[in-house]
Structure 1
Amino acid sequence: MLCWSVMEHNPKSQIISLINDSKSILLVTHKQMDGDAIGSILALKEVLEKIDKKVEALVANSLPANLTYLNDYTTLKNRVDIQKDFIINLEIGDLKIDKLGYKKSPDGKNLSIVITPNSGELKTSDISFSESGSKYDLVIILGSPDLESLGSIYNNYSQLFFETPTAQIDHHSFNENYAKINFVDMTASSTCEMLVSLIEAIESSNSTKIFSESIATALLTGIINKTNSFQNLSTTPKSLTVAAQLVALGAEKDKIILNLFKSKPISTLKLWGRILNNLEEEDNFVWAKVSQVDLEETGSHPSQINSVIDNLLKTASDFDFVILISETTEQDMQIEIRSLTPNFDSLALASHFGGNGNNQSSSFIYPIHSDFKEESQRVIEKIKDFINQK
C-alpha cells in the first residue's frame, strides 16, 4: 500500500497520468533554442503522437541551422491558435424555435442574433453568456526554470498557463516549481536525459514500444549539447549510461557531433571573429561583448552566442573565469559567466547581481540605461569591485 502511494505522488507518474487522460497537448520550451530544448520537444512530440495524442510544439524563435538534421523539425510552430468560442446560452424551456438567424448593420460593425419562437416569448433574463475552454487538455513545459524563460511564448499566451493544467520537466537547480506538476531533477545533465526514463514509463503504461532512432537521436543531441560532448561538470555516470543506451537504440552519434561541433556556418565564424576582436583582459578574467548589431551584420542566430563562450572563450588559459555580455533587447543585456578553475564560484558572482546557475556556469540580466557599450563597461567595473571585496 505504501509503495502504491509513493508511486501516485511521484511527479513522473503524475505527468504520465495527465498525459494518458489528455487528448490534445501543447509542448513549449525555453527561448534559448539550444540542442536540449529542441531535442526534448521534438522527441516528446514524436512519443506522444505514437500513443495517439494530438500534439502541437511551440517555440519562441527560428530553429538554429545546426539542428535542422533532427527529424520533423519543420513541424515546430512559432504561433498557435488559442481563440475561444463566444457562446450565447438561451433557456427555452418548452418553447419551440421557428427561426434562428443574424443580421449585420450596414457598416458591418454590429451583429444582431434573431430568434423567433413558434409561440410564447423569450425574455432577456433567459439569456446568459460563456466562453469555450482551452483547446488543450495539457501544457508540458520543457527545460524552463520559470515562465519568463519562455520569452514571447509566455508574453503572447500567458492566459494559457493559468487556464490549462501544466506539467514541467526541468533540470535547473533554480527552478521555481511553477507548474501543477513539477518533475525537476537537479542531478540530471539535461531535460533530454530526464525524458529517457519518462518515455520508458510511458512505454510501460501503454504496453507499446515507442523508442525509435529519431527519438534517440533527438535525446542524445540534448545530452551532448548540455554536457559539451561530456566535457563539463554536469556530466555524471548516469549521463554516460543513458547516452550509451540511446546509442544502442540507434541514436546517430556521429551526425550529432558533426552538426554540433565539427561544422560551423559562416555566420558563426563571423560572429566568433567579431567577439574575439572585442576581447578584453582583466587581472583574473577575460570578457567580450556582442550587440544586436553584431548579430545582424554577421547573420547570426541568438542561439549561437552560447557556443562562443563554451567552445571558444573557455579555452583561455591562466584565468579564473570568462564573461560574455550579450545585448538581448534595447533594455536588457545578459551576462554569461563560466568558471575556468575549480576554485572560482561563478554562481556567487551571478547571485550578487540577482542571477542563477551553478558554480561552473551562471548568468544574470542587467538593465541597459544608456549605450550598450558604456553599460557593458559599467557592469565589468561592478564585477571587478565585487571580486576585489572577496
Structure 2
Amino acid sequence: MRINIAAPQIKDLIEKSNKVLLLTRANPSVDGVCSMIALYDILASLGKNPTSATTGRVPEEVNHLPHISRLMDRIEPKNLIISFDYVEGMIDKVSYKIEGNKFKLIISPKEKRINPEQVEYSYKGTDYDLVFILDSPDLESLGKLFADPEFYSTATTVNIDRRVNNTQFGKVNIIEPRNDSVCAIITKLLADSNIKLTSVAADALLFGLRASTSNFTKVNNPSTFEAASICVASSGRFGTQSEMKIANEESIKTSEKNFFAPKIFKSSSSD
C-alpha cells in the first residue's frame, strides 16, 4: 500500500488504539531501532501506552538515544490458561465465585473428579490493540518474539518495510523498496497522517536517515532529503534550530550534487 493511501488508515488506527506494541526483527538494524524509538515517543505523547521490543544484539550506535533502556526482549503474556486431559462430555459445568479476596474457578465433572496432577498452568495472549512491525521481512524474523502465532493472526498489525521479499504479513502493509530507509517511510507516513513529530522522534529519525545513507552520501531516493528536511524542522536537541538547518542543508546540497551527477560505469574485459 502506498504511503499516501495508508496515511488516513494509520491515523485512524492510532486514534482508536489504547495500547500499542512496537517490534523490529531480531538483531535489529540502526534503521529499525530508530524507527521504533521515534514511534514510541510519539505514541507516548499521545497517551497510547506503547511498548517496544526486540531480541538479539542492539547496535551500539543507538545506545545514546532516548527510550533505548525501555526496549524489552520479551512480550509478557496476560491470560492465565488452565488445561488438563479432556474427554468429550466429562465436564458438567464451569463456574466461578469470589470469596473475600479470592477468585475460585469451579470445574464440575459429570463423574470422576479431575486428577490435580494432570492440571497444567500457562500464560498466553496480550491486550495490545495495535502492533507496528518495522524493518522485518517476515514474522519469523522476530525470533522468540514470534512465540505466539495466534496473537499475530488476530492482532491489527501494521507492517512497514523496504524489502522486495517482504511477505506482506500485516493487516496493513506499507512496503516501499525504493526508499533508502524505514525511517524515511515513517517520516513521510507521519507527515501525510498529520501527526506532529516530537523533537525526540525527529532526532531519532534523522539519526536513522544518516546511518542508512552514510550521512547522506549514498542516497538513492530524493524522498530521503524530504524526510531529513521534515526532521530538521521538528528537531531541537542537537544544537540550535539554525545550526541544525545550516548543517543539514550543507549535507543535503552535497548529497544532491552526488545524486544528480552523471554516473560513469566502467566495463571489465578479459584478454
Structure-1-length-normalised TM-score: 0.49
Assess, with a 3 A threshold, how the Cα gap between structure 1 residues 240 and 201 changes in structure 2: closer, same or farther. Answer: closer
Q: Distance in 2 between matches of 1:216 and 1:98?
A: 50
Partner of 1:239: 224
Q: Percent identity?
A: 25
> 1:52 aligns to what SS in structure 2?
coil
Paired letter, 1:41: M
Matched, 1:136 2:132: no
How high is the TM-score relative to the length of structure 2?
Answer: 0.68
Q: Label 1:241 to 1:113 Cα distance change in 2 as closer, same or farther (>3 A).
A: closer
SS at match of 1:186: coil
Residues 245/123 of structure 1: CA separation in 2 closer, same or farther (3 Å cut): closer
Tell me the amino acid that sits aligned with residue 221 of structure 1: F
Q: Compare 24-33 and 14-23 and name the one that shifted more.
A: 14-23
Shift of 1:50: 1.3
Q: Contact conserved, 1:213 with 1:251, CA < 8 A, in 2?
A: yes
Which one of the candidate residues 136, 139, 146 is aligned to 2:138? 146
Determine the C-alpha separation between the residues in 2 that align with 1:21 and 1:238: 29
Structure 1's unaligned 5+ residue stretches are: 1-5, 103-111, 116-121, 125-130, 205-209, 255-340, 345-390
In the other structure, the counterpart of 1:171 is 162
- Bigger mean CA offset, 195-204 vs 30-39: 195-204
Deviations 1:298-348 (A, max 9, x none): xxxxxxxxxxxxxxxxxxxxxxxxxxxxxxxxxxxxxxxxxxx9679xxxx
Shift in Å, 1:90:
4.4
In structure 1, which of residues 9, 22, 34 is the aligned counterpart of residue 17 of structure 2?
Answer: 22
Matched with 2:72 is 77
Q: Highest CA radius of gyration, 1 or 2?
A: 1
Residues 98 and 145 of structure 1: is their aligned pair in 2 closer, same or farther, counting only changes over 3 Å?
closer
Q: Distance in 2 between matches of 1:31 and 1:57?
A: 13
Deviations 1:176-228 (A, max 9, x none): 21111101122221111111122224445xxxxx3222111100111111112
- Which residue is equivalent to 1:248? 233
Given the superposition, is the C-alpha separation of residues 180 and 113 from structure 1 closer, same or farther in structure 2, using an over 3 Å criterion?
closer
Query: Which one-letter code corresponds to 1:225 in the other structure?
Result: A
User: Which has the larger displacement, 172-181 or 245-254?
Assistant: 245-254
SS of equivalent residue, structure 1 residue 151: helix
Instruction: Give the drift of 1:64.
Output: 2.6
- Residue 79 of structure 2 aligns to a residue whose secondary structure is coil
What is the distance in 1 between the residues matched to 2:98 and 2:203? 61
For 2:266 and 2:145, the matched residues in 1 are separated by: 38
- Give the distance between the partners of 2:145 and 2:98, measured in 1 at CA: 46
SS across alignment from 2:56: coil
User: Which has the bigger relative contact order, CA under 8 A and spacing at least 6?
Assistant: 2
Cα offset for 1:174?
2.1
**Are 1:225 and 2:220 counterparts?**
no
AA aligned opposite 2:233: A
Does the alignment pair 1:192 with 2:177?
no
Match of 1:162 among 121, 136, 153: 153
| Aligned equivalents of 2:100, 2:15: Cα separation in 1 | 40
Check whether the contact 1:57–1:77 (CA below 8 A) recurs between aligned residues: yes
Alpha-carbon separation, structure 2, partners of 1:90 and 1:343: 77
Aligned ranges for residues 283-322 of structure 1 at < 5 Å? none
Does structure 2 conserve the Cα–Cα contact (< 8 Å) formed by 1:134 and 1:164? no
Tell me, in whole angstroms, the C-alpha distance in 2 between the residues paired with 1:152 and 1:133.
15
Q: CA RMSD in A?
A: 3.6
Q: Structure 2: how far apart are the matches of 1:148 and 1:123?
A: 40
**Amino acid of the structure 2 residue aligned with 1:17:** D
Structure 2: any 5+ residue segments left out of the alignment?
Answer: 84-92, 111-122, 240-263
Aligned residues: 222
Spell out, residue by residue over 1:229-281, the C-alpha distance to the aligned partner (whole angstroms, 9 max, x if none).
2222x432221122133123226668xxxxxxxxxxxxxxxxxxxxxxxxxxx
CA distance in 1, matches of 2:211, 2:74: 26
1:10 is paired with a residue of what secondary structure?
helix
Q: 1:169 is paired with a residue of what secondary structure?
A: strand
Q: Is the 8 A contact 2:23 2:53 kept in 1?
A: yes
Structure 2 residue aligned with 1:127: none
In the alignment, is the contact (CA less than 8 A) between 2:162 and 2:175 conserved in 1? yes
1:46 aligns to what?
A: 41
1:356-371 aligned at under 5 Å gives the runs none
Residues 179 and 215 from structure 1, CA distance in 2 versus in 1: closer, same or farther, beyond 3 angstroms?
same
